[in-house]
Chains A and B, each alone.
Chain A
Amino acid sequence: MIERLPLPAPLAALLRRAFFPEGSFRLPLPAQLDRVIIYGGLVAGAVVTPILLVLIVLLVLNVLTAPELVFWLASAVIIGGALGSVLLKNIVHAALSLVMTLLGVAAIFLLLGSEFLALVQVLVYGGGVTVLLLFGLMLTNATDDPIVSDGAQKPFAFLVGIALAGILSVALVDQIWGAPTASTVAFRELGARLYRDFGLPFEIASLVLVIALIGAIAIARRDRPEDTEDTAMGDGA
Chain B
Amino acid sequence: MGMEQVWLLPAIPAVLFALMGLFNRLVPRRGDFIVILGMAAVVVLSFLVLLDFQGSFKDGHFAPGDSNFYSFSWVEIDTGVVDDLLLIEFSTFVDGITVLMLAVVSIVTLMVMVYSVGYMHGEVRYGWYFAVLSGFGAAMLMLVVSGNLLLLYLSWEAVGLASYLLIGFYWERQTAAEAAKKAFITTRIGDVGLLIGIILLWRGAGSFDIQEIIHFAEGGGYGETYLTVAMLMLFAGAAGKSAQFPFHVWLPDAMEGPTPVSALIHAATMVVAGVYLVARMMPVFDVALVARDVVLYIGLTTAALGATLGLVTSDIKRVLAYSTVSQLGFMFVALGVGSVTAAMFHLFTHAFFKSLLFLGSGSVIHATEEQVVETLGGLRRKMPATTTLFVIGSLALAGIVPLAGFWSKDEILLVLQDGAGFGPFVILAATAALTAIYTTRLVLLTFFGEPKDQAAYDHAHESPAVMILPMALLALLAVIAGFVALDPVGKALGFTGGIGEVVFTQGHEGHAFKLDPTIAIGATLSALAGIVIGFIYWSGAAERAVRARQWSPEFHDLLVNRYYIDHLYQFVIDKVVLGLATVVAYFDRWVVNETGVDGSAQGISFAGYRLKFFQTGRIPNYALAMAIGVVVLALVAIGRT
Give the interface of A toward B (CB within 8 A): 151, 153, 156-157, 160, 163-164, 167-168, 170-171, 174
Give the interface of B toward A (CB within 8 A): 620-621, 624, 627-628, 630-631, 634-635, 638
* 20 new A-B contacts at CB < 8 Å, known A156-B628, A160-B624: A151-B620, A153-B620, A153-B624, A156-B624, A157-B624, A157-B627, A160-B627, A160-B628, A160-B631, A163-B631, A164-B627, A164-B630, A164-B634, A167-B631, A167-B635, A167-B638, A170-B638, A171-B634, A171-B638, A174-B638
A114 to chain B, nearest CB (A): 28
A124 to chain B, nearest CB (A): 26
| 16 residue pairs bridging A and B, Cβ less than 8 Å apart | A151-B620, A153-B620, A153-B621, A156-B624, A157-B627, A160-B624, A160-B628, A163-B631, A164-B627, A164-B630, A164-B634, A167-B635, A167-B638, A168-B634, A170-B638, A171-B638
Q: Which residues of A contact B630 (CB under 8 A)?
A: 164
A178 to chain B, nearest CB (A): 17
Q: Which residues of A contact B621 (CB under 8 A)?
A: 153
By beta carbon, the residue of chain A nearest B626 is A160
B89 to chain A, nearest CB (A): 55
Q: Which residues of B contact A153 (CB under 8 A)?
A: 620-621, 624
B contact patch SS: helix
A211 to chain B, nearest CB (A): 23
B624 to chain A, nearest CB (A): 5
Q: Which residues of B contact A151 (CB under 8 A)?
A: 620
A164 to chain B, nearest CB (A): 6
Q: Which residues of A contact B627 (CB under 8 A)?
A: 157, 160, 164
By beta carbon, the residue of chain A nearest B630 is A164
B640 to chain A, nearest CB (A): 12
Q: Report Cα–Cα, A173/B628, bound state, in Å.
A: 22
By beta carbon, the residue of chain B nearest A170 is B638
By beta carbon, the residue of chain A nearest B631 is A163
By beta carbon, the residue of chain B nearest A156 is B624
**Residue of A151, A163, A170 contacting most chain B CB atoms (<10 Å):** A163
6 shortest A-B CB distances, which residue pairs?
A: A160-B627, A167-B634, A163-B631, A151-B620, A153-B624, A156-B624
A190 to chain B, nearest CB (A): 32
Instruction: Check A164 against B631 for contact (C-beta < 8 Å).
Output: yes
Q: Report Cα–Cα, A4/B634, bound state, in Å.
A: 52
Q: Which residues of A contact B638 (CB under 8 A)?
A: 167, 170-171, 174
A104 to chain B, nearest CB (A): 25
Q: Which residues of B contact A171 (CB under 8 A)?
A: 634, 638
Q: Which residues of B contact A168 (CB under 8 A)?
A: 634
Q: Report Cα–Cα, A69/B627, bound state, in Å.
A: 34
Q: Which residues of A contact B628 (CB under 8 A)?
A: 156, 160
By beta carbon, the residue of chain B nearest A164 is B631
